[in-house]
Copies of this chain bind each other. A is one copy, B any other.
């Protein structure tokens, strides 16, 4: 398959602040690979719905999963137009003027239509990839899905055909004359951080916190 080097299209072209628009494949993949939750937009009878979901990107597809009974997943598997947005908040940009306050962020928007992934082996592979995306190293220590569980699970693949990203980085950009103000300006970095794991109350006390969980929390606890 010929691979386009970027995902730009009429629909994805960033119109506001076009200098923030990014269509590069690698940049978009990086945002998709760093996020844990996407927001999935779709339309039913003219009404937009936006629902948070975990997801994983594998090659040129975004995968969603959930119960076979999910109205949203069934609609997505049926091929309704979807918009999948992943937003990483990197910091609050504190300017000298209210007007130039902003946020440092990276967001990726993918447009496409989905289809159900059929076959237990294929579904299992997606769930494995999703697990590795969320908590690398955990899959090998858990009980994998059995046939009944796979049957209950609907997996939907959305090919990444049109996509764009918006990225803002760096310090505030104040009007020149506002630099004379005695106001502190800068960036307050924000990041989604893990804290110490909380064992299941029913966990036997002799089962230690595994390495893949310690690694997630950070080098200090390994």
Contacts and interface: CB of A to CB of B under 8 A. Distances in A.
A45 to B, nearest CB: 10
Contact of A197 (B15, B36, B81, B186): B186
A30 interface: no
A78 interface: no
A199 to B, nearest CB: 4
A171 B192 contact: no
A143 B98 contact: yes
Given A135-B94, A192-B190, A194-B190, A85 B52 contact: yes
B43 A50 contact: no
Contacts of A48: 41-43, 48, 81-83
Interface stretch (A19-27, A56-64, A114-122, A202-210): A202-210
Contact of A142 (B98, B201, B202, B209): B98
A51 interface: yes
A52 B181 contact: no
A213 interface: yes
Interface in A169-209: 171-172, 174, 178-179, 181-203, 207-209
Given A37-B89, A50-B83, A194 B186 contact: no
B47 A39 contact: no
A183 to B, nearest CB: 6
25 contacts: A36-B92, A49-B83, A51-B109, A52-B87, A91-B198, A92-B134, A94-B213, A96-B143, A97-B145, A98-B149, A99-B153, A101-B134, A141-B184, A171-B201, A171-B202, A184-B203, A184-B207, A185-B199, A185-B200, A185-B202, A185-B203, A186-B197, A187-B198, A190-B193, A190-B195
Given A48-B48, A174-B200, A187-B200, 14 more contacts: A16-B70, A39-B87, A47-B81, A47-B83, A54-B103, A96-B142, A98-B139, A143-B178, A171-B200, A172-B200, A183-B207, A189-B197, A189-B198, A190-B194
